[in-house]
Amino acid sequence: MTSQTPLRIGVLDGDDIGHEIVPAAVQIARAAAEMHAVQIDWHPLPIGARALQTHGHTLPPDTLTALQTLDGWLLGPIGHRAYPKVPNAINPHPILRKQFNLFANVRPTRSYPDIGCLHDGVDLVIVRENNEGFQPDRNMVAGSGEFRPTDEVTLSVRVITRTGSRRVARAAFELARQRRKHLTYVHKDTVFKLGCGMFVEECRKLAAEYPDVRVDDVIVDTFAMRLVRDPQTFDVVVTTNMFGDILSDEAAGLVGGLGMAPGLCIGDGDVAMAQATHGSAPDIAGQGVANPYAMIESTRMMFEWLGHSRGNEGAVRMGTSMARATAAALADPQARTGDIRGSGNTGSFTRAVIDNLSP
Ligand code: ATP
C-alpha cells in the first residue's frame, strides 16, 4: 500500500459525551491529514442509544458489516448501563473486541506540566488483555461467565488461556522494544497459581525471543502501591483483563484523571480501534465541557499504528504532528478543560490543537 491509498476509517460516536469528543477528534485528524496529505475515507456509523432509536439496535448488523471493510475506527464511550432492558439494547464492547480479535488494549499514562498530575515524568503503558480473564460478558462462547446456582451462591469464572496470554505478551514485548525496553508482568501467581501462573509462564517463555527487553514481574497488590509511589520506574506493563482495567484507571488518577486516559485496541495486525478508557460521563454530557484529550490521543495512536502497519509514512507524520499540537494545547490553561486545571472547554481545546498543528 502506498501513502496515497486512502485509509478507511469509521466514526462511531457512542453515547453522551461521545457526541462531543468524537467529533472533536475527527476535526483534528481531518486537519492533520490535510496538512500531511493523508487521504482518509470517513465512514460515520450508527451505534449506541441513538442507533437503538433509529435502527432498533445498539449495534446494528449493518454497522458490524461495514466495520469489516475498514482499516480502523474511533469508538466513543458507550453508556450501556442506561440502556433500556430490551433485547437489542446490548453493550457493543465485548462483541467488537471479540469479533475483530482485538486482544490487546494499549493504555498509556503520561504526565504533563501544570494539569494536576501527582507526579512528573510519568511515561508508562499498560497493555491489558482484552478478551478473556474475569469479564463474564466476553470469556465464554455461550452463556455468561457468572452464574448463581442458588440464591446464596454466585460463581464468577476467570478464563486464562496460553494463546491469549502469549499473544498479549507478544504485543507488550513489541511495544517495549520500541520504547525504553523494559517490560513488567503484573499478576498474582502467589494465589492464582494456575491462572496467573499460566499467564506468567507464557510471558517468561516469550522473553527468550526478546533478549534486548529487560523484564521483571510484580505481584498486583505491590504494583498498585508502587504505581502510586514510583510510577516513573515503569515502562511497559502487561497484565490480565481485570487487573489491567483497574490499574489503568489508577494510572489515569496519577496524571489528571479519566480525561487523560487514552487507549488503542489492537490484535494480530488488521484493524485498530481507538477507544478512550473513560465511560460516557452522562453527568457532564451536552455541556461542552468534556475533556477530549483521551479521545484525541486514542485517535492519534490509531493513525500512528496504521501508518506503521500499512507503510503509510504520512499517517506516521500526522501522528507526530498531532502529539506536538496536543502537548502545546495542554500547556495553555485557557484552552484546556476544567478537570485538568483549565478554564476552557471541549471546543477551545480542540481549536488549540488545530491551531498548533505544524508540518
Ligand atoms: P464506565 O464504567 O462506563 O467506564 P464510569 O462509571 O467509570 O464509566 P465515567 O463515565 O468514566 O464513569 O465517568 C466517571 C467520572 O469521570 C464522571 O464524574 C465523569 O464526569 C468524569 N469524566 C469521565 N470522562 C471525562 C472526560 N473526558 N472529561 C471530563 N470528565 C470526565
Instruction: Look at ligand 1, atom 3, and give the residue with the nearest C-alpha.
Output: 279
DSSP state letters, 311-329: T-HHHHHHHHHHHHHHHHH
Fold of 118-254: Isopropylmalate Dehydrogenase (3.40.718)
User: Looking at domain 1-103+263-359, does it have CATH number 3.30.470.20?
Assistant: no
- From residue 229, how far is each of 24, 103, 185, 188, 238 by CA, in Å? 34, 29, 18, 20, 19
The pick from 93, 258, 330, 336 for probing ligand 1's pocket by mutation, whose C-beta has the most ligand atoms within 8 angstroms, reads 258
Q: Which atom of ligand 1 is nearest to the CA of 276?
A: 27
pLDDT 10s digit of each residue in the chain, 359 long?
444 689 999 999 999 999 999 999 999 999 999 999 999 999 999 999 999 999 999 999 999 999 999 999 999 999 999 999 999 999 998 889 889 999 999 999 999 999 999 999 999 999 999 999 998 888 888 888 999 999 999 999 999 999 999 999 999 999 999 999 999 999 999 999 999 999 999 999 999 999 999 999 999 999 999 999 999 999 999 999 999 999 999 999 999 999 999 999 999 878 999 999 999 999 999 999 999 999 999 999 999 999 999 999 999 999 999 999 999 999 999 999 999 999 999 999 999 999 999 98
Distance 284 CA to ligand 1 centre (A): 9
Q: Looking at this protein, which amino acid is placed at residue 128? A: R
SS3 for 8-26, per residue?
A: EEEEECCCCCHHHHHHHHH
User: Quick check: 337 and 291 in contact, CB under 8 A?
Assistant: yes
Distance 359 CA to ligand 1 centre (A): 33
Q: Is 291 in the pocket of ligand 1 (CB under 6 A)?
A: yes
Residues 6+ apart with CB under 8 A from 206: 166, 169, 170, 173
| 164/359 Cα distance (integer angstroms) | 40
- CATH 3.40.718.10 placement within the chain: 1-103+263-359, 118-254
Phi, psi for 240 (deg, rounded to 5): -75, 170
For residue 1, what pLDDT is reported? 45
Three cell numbers, residue 23 = 467529533
Q: Where are the beta strands (DSSP E) in the chain?
A: 7-12, 40-44, 72-75, 104-110, 123-129, 146-150, 153-156, 182-187, 214-219, 236-239, 264-266, 272-274
Q: Which atom of ligand 1 is nearest to the CA of 80?
A: 3
For residue 4, what pLDDT is reported? 65
Instruction: Look at ligand 1, atom 17, and give the residue with the nearest C-alpha.
Output: 281
| 240/197 Cα distance (integer angstroms) | 11
Distance 152 CA to ligand 1 centre (A): 33
How many degrees, rounded to 5, is the angle at CA 266 between CA 143 and CA 81?
A: 45
Q: Look up the pTM and report it.
A: 0.95
For residue 165, what pLDDT is reported? 98
For residue 318, what pLDDT is reported? 97
* DSSP-based three-state secondary structure for 6: coil
Q: Is 259 in the pocket of ligand 1 (CB under 6 A)?
A: yes
Q: Is 278 in the pocket of ligand 1 (CB under 6 A)?
A: yes
User: Quick check: 312 and 295 in contact, CB under 8 A?
Assistant: no
